[in-house]
Structure 1
Amino acid sequence: MSAAGWFIVLLALVGANVPFFNQRLFAVVPLRAAHKSAWLRIAEMIVLYFAIGLVGFALEARAGNRFDQGWQFYAITFSMFVVFAFPGFTFQYLIKRR
């Protein structure tokens, strides 16, 4: 796997956890509410999935060998993105804080 491939995997790992480690929208825009809702976190994850996917397509096109993908590719990569979000989910919802 090339360096660009590992970069995308690392970017996906970070991007999947961004919604859970802070209370801002996309880690930049402050919200009025004290806590983000779970639905907002899911929507943020979906947007970040597509944004990181676009970065991956750009890197693949830059390498000169862009391949067409079927629905199976997107199902598997979105599932991996959800699995990558597990540390952030655990931190936000499963760890008890005093």
Structure 2
Amino acid sequence: MDVGASAWLVVLLALVLANLPFINERILALVPLRGGAGQAPSKPFIVRLLELTVLYFIVGGIGRALEGRIGTAFPQTWEFYAITACMFLVLAFPGFVVRYLKKKH
């Protein structure tokens, strides 16, 4: 896989995984929640934020592995992680809007 394809793969993966906590009611899309008596389970917002953090590190690990596979992985400083975390939050905005801001009819 060339450099351009792996970069787009990481961006698309980040887009999908950033919205994942907001489009389903399972933890990491794997573990179902137990609802109350006859109620549909609903994830609290803090659980969604923790899930978003875990998924950020998963995407970062995949990106790091792809970078290492292409050549030497470059060392990163805190600025890189601050920028990529903000980008991950921006990519999560569509899922947040659909979950919390869109009016239900």
Fold match, TM over 0.5? yes
Deviation string for 1:21-73 (max 9, x for gaps)?
A: 00000111101141100000000000000011000000000001210000000
For 1:85, the equivalent position in structure 2 comes to 92
State the distance in 2 between where 1:32 and 1:64 align.
Answer: 45
RMSD, matched Cα: 0.9
SS in structure 2 opposite 1:2?
A: helix
Aligned match for 1:7, one of 1, 9, 18: 9
Consecutive unaligned residues of structure 2, counting only runs of 5 or more, are 36-40
For 1:63, the equivalent position in structure 2 comes to 70
Q: Percent identity?
A: 53
Larger radius of gyration: 2
TM-score (norm 1): 0.96
How far is 1:75 from its partner? 0.0
Consecutive unaligned residues of structure 1, counting only runs of 5 or more, are none
What letter corresponds to residue 8 of structure 2 in structure 1?
W
What letter corresponds to residue 70 of structure 1 in structure 2?
T
State the distance in 2 between where 1:91 and 1:31 align.
Answer: 20
How many residues align? The count is 98
Larger mean Cα displacement after TM superposition, 23-32 or 73-82: 23-32
TM-score (norm 2): 0.90
SS in structure 2 opposite 1:35?
A: coil
